[in-house]
Amino acid sequence: MPFDALHMRLCVSEIKEILVGGRIDKITAPNHHTVRFAVYAGGKTHGLLLTANPQYAHLRLTTGAREQLESPSVFVNHLRKHLLNGRIDDIFSIKNERIAHLTLTAKNDLGLEKNWTLVVECMGKHSNIILLNSDHKVSESFKHIPLDMSSKRQVLPGLSYKVPPVQEGKISPYDTDGLIEVITRFDKLDTLCHVLHDAIQTNSLQTVNCIDNLNRHLLKHISGLAPATIAEVTHKAFTIMLADNASSNRNVLLPKDSTELLALQHSTDTGSIPLKNALIQAFAALLTPNPFAPCVAKNAEGTLTDFYFTPYALMQGDCLPTPTLNEAMDSYYSGLESDAKLQAKYRRIHQITHTALVRTQKRLTLLLERQAAAENYEFDRIRGELITSNLYRIGKLDKSFTCDNYYVDPPQPITLTLEDGLSPTKTAEKYFKSYRKKKKTLEVLMGQLEETGNEVEYLESVLASLKTAETPTDMDEIFEELQSGGYGKAQKVKRKTKKLSVKETALSGVKRLEYDGYTFLIGKNNIQNDALVKHSAPNDVWLHPKEFRGAHMVILNPKKVLPNEKILRKAATINAKYSKANASDNVPIDYTFIKFVSKPKAAAPGKVVYINQKTLYVNPER
């Protein structure tokens, strides 16, 4: 994503135009990396979001939801103490750096005005948000950087603020003389000139290794620009050369080596533009945005993949124009943050469920081992009875004896071992005791095995529904379901919902699809699955993968007659998609009327029994 110093400068200029002179009414923390200001300016309240997230540090105007942590950080509370009701005096960015300064004035506890500077450093893993007092000393910061973390620059309360050190060997893209020197130092320039000579003669641009090498060279020696912006500059330079070739209607005499390049620098031949000059023109054109046409890029799946201050020629996907760069950034980052939240919820729920599943599977294995060890309880009874019936044949010093086992037909000889130190009578009593204990153990194990097996099945169904969850609300429902079952720590999940009926509330998260006049309802977790069974009409058609874990699905059926095979097959392919067998072919899907589906008493969420079903074999929709 090209959030570089260029985009920072343009973004900040938009923010400045809107927020300067505004009052800070509220300060919240949407997450542990972010601060959100509610600023009243121009007769309305605007959201200003600052984030030091190392993956996408930035600042922007936002219209997103005003979420906040229940326990904000010390830094956020510090900002509230000193900046609430303060005035934004100015906003500017440091030239050629991803650093923005907000100068503010706010009253202290004594009612005296005090000047503050909020520094937003968007520098990847080194990103930070720092509050400076009027003496330009650190009052507080999002991240503290002590001496043991960095010997070059410390960020701690009370220390004077130091600007981040400039990267050695890099020059500003606004420095024309420096650009010429950097371009001239490119050691493969002569090779590139030969390649471009052939490309321009055929009026075609080809991506070749030497062009990629040039991009890497420029990125290494020019500061403040993202790789996408550097690639756009070189592409623009080659386009300038092609355009000049076409307008002059003659061959462009590209220099064959760096010596000729220097010689042609002051050439009066307007029909030939050296690569160096074309790059200088391209840098100048991009750094002075004209036209300024902010947009976001969208891929074939409908996901926003990037934002730009103007459409880049190398931009992938469709271009969607936006009124401002901040709106483009808000659209892109909101989607990114939503995905990040979804992934965070997914990881947490998956960890809770997976841990519980592994623990339950271990318990099931132990129960099965105990069951296997107790299944021979009848043999203990037989041995006890054989010893008792042959007491007259056993000597006091015998350690074993052989007799006929009359419990098999025909009787077979069997050798029984006697316990050392125990009389035959005591040995028989020990076998009878073992028989009773094992028999009772089996009786207890039957209930435990069923309960544990149901728990394993339930947890596996949660993992299956987790894969089909599409929104944070779906994740919240699954988490609430786990909590109600005693898994995970209790946590309040805040969700704003409008007032709905009991049925509407129960089915609010269910996925709805329309097909050929029919409505398909798909449960994406066990709570939704139970709601479908409970609130569907008796003649609605219910579908579920046969012998596989998966979503419950209902075809709304006001006609009260079984839909035709086309409708049933379409529904079955969708149902197979939301099952554990979604990567298989020829998946069996059962279907029946909802009146033949029931939920056993005290059954786990999502567990039902059904009768009068028929089965379709389909390939999952892909």
* Cis, peptide link before residue 146, omega less than 30° from 0: no
Are 442 and 375 in contact by the 8 Å Cβ rule? The answer is: yes
Edge-to-edge strand list for the sheet holding 518-522? 511-515, 518-522, 553-555, 541-545, 587-593, 614-618
User: Quick check: 263 pLDDT over 50?
Assistant: no
CA distances from 475 to 30, 33, 390, 462, 481 (A): 18, 22, 68, 11, 10
User: Quick check: 324 pLDDT over 90?
Assistant: yes
Arithmetic mean of pLDDT, 163-176: 83
Arithmetic mean of pLDDT, 494-515: 63
Arithmetic mean of pLDDT, 20-30: 93
User: Quick check: 260 pLDDT over 60?
Assistant: no
Report yes or no on 330 lying in a domain: no
487 lies in the same domain as 566: no
pLDDT band at 189 (very low <50, low <70, confident <90, very high): low
Give the pLDDT confidence score for residue 195 in this predicted structure: 58
Give the pLDDT confidence score for residue 256 in this predicted structure: 38
Report yes or no on 488 lying in a domain: yes
pLDDT band at 258 (very low <50, low <70, confident <90, very high): very low
Domain that holds residue 490: 346-496
CATH number for position 20 = 2.30.310.10
Q: Which residue has the higher pLDDT, 345 or 203?
A: 345
Instruction: Read off the tokens for 262.
Output: 């220097």
480 lies in the same domain as 419: yes
Q: What is the DSSP string of 439-497?
A: HHHHHHHHHHHHHHHHHHHHHHHHHHHHHH--SHHHHHHHHHHHHHTT-S---------
Domain count, the chain: 4
480 lies in the same domain as 599: no
Are 621 and 573 in contact by the 8 Å Cβ rule? The answer is: yes
pLDDT band at 142 (very low <50, low <70, confident <90, very high): very high
pLDDT band at 273 (very low <50, low <70, confident <90, very high): very low
pLDDT band at 564 (very low <50, low <70, confident <90, very high): very high
pLDDT band at 329 (very low <50, low <70, confident <90, very high): very high
Cα 411 to Cα 495: distance, rounded to the nearest angstrom? 73
Report yes or no on 370 lying in a domain: yes
Give the pLDDT confidence score for residue 488 in this predicted structure: 75
Give the pLDDT confidence score for residue 262 in this predicted structure: 39
Domain edge (last residue) among 96, 116, 141 = 141
492 lies in the same domain as 355: yes
354 lies in the same domain as 490: yes
Q: Which residue has the higher pLDDT, 87 or 397?
A: 87
Report yes or no on 163 lying in a domain: no
492 lies in the same domain as 506: no
pTM of the model: 0.65
Q: What is the DSSP string of 28-45?
A: E-SSTTEEEEEEEETTEE
Cα 115 to Cα 468: distance, rounded to the nearest angstrom? 51
**For helices 275-287 and 176-184, angle between their N-to-C axes, nearest 10 degrees:** 140
- The pLDDT mean for the chain works out to 84
Pick from 76, 71, 70: nearest CA to 493? 70
Report yes or no on 610 lying in a domain: yes
Strands (DSSP E) contained in 471-602 are 511-515, 518-522, 541-545, 553-555, 587-593, 597-598
539 lies in the same domain as 567: yes
User: Quick check: 314 pLDDT over 60?
Assistant: yes
Cα 587 to Cα 590: distance, rounded to the nearest angstrom? 10
pLDDT band at 434 (very low <50, low <70, confident <90, very high): very high
Give the pLDDT confidence score for residue 85 in this predicted structure: 94
> What count of residues does the chain have?
622
456 lies in the same domain as 540: no
Instruction: Read off the tokens for 588.
Output: 């069996």
Q: Which residue has the higher pLDDT, 79 or 606?
A: 79
9 lies in the same domain as 132: yes
**How remote is the C-alpha of 353 from its chain's centroid?**
18
User: Quick check: 490 pLDDT over 80?
Assistant: no
Arithmetic mean of pLDDT, 342-353: 88
User: Quick check: 207 pLDDT over 50?
Assistant: no
185 lies in the same domain as 214: yes
User: Quick check: 496 pLDDT over 80?
Assistant: no
Q: Which residue has the higher pLDDT, 587 or 265?
A: 587
**What's the burial of 469, exposed, middle or buried (CB within 10 Å: 0-12/13-18/19+)?**
buried
Cα 283 to Cα 133: distance, rounded to the nearest angstrom? 37
Report yes or no on 453 lying in a domain: yes
Report yes or no on 160 lying in a domain: no
User: Quick check: 197 pLDDT over 50?
Assistant: yes
488 lies in the same domain as 451: yes
Cα 226 to Cα 230: distance, rounded to the nearest angstrom? 6
The label of the residue with tokens 């420096």 reads: 178
Report yes or no on 329 lying in a domain: no
199 lies in the same domain as 135: no
Are 538 and 519 in contact by the 8 Å Cβ rule? The answer is: no
Are 526 and 483 in contact by the 8 Å Cβ rule? The answer is: no
Cα 392 to Cα 425: distance, rounded to the nearest angstrom? 11
The mean-pLDDT minimum among 245-259, 387-401, 404-418, 476-490 falls in 245-259
Q: What's the number of CA atoms in the CB half-sphere (13 Å) around residue 355?
A: 9
Domain edge (last residue) among 496, 524, 553 = 496
Are 540 and 556 in contact by the 8 Å Cβ rule? The answer is: yes
Arithmetic mean of pLDDT, 41-45: 93
Domain edge (last residue) among 473, 496, 519 = 496
Arithmetic mean of pLDDT, 504-517: 78
Give the pLDDT confidence score for residue 111 in this predicted structure: 87
* Cis, peptide link before residue 289, omega less than 30° from 0: no
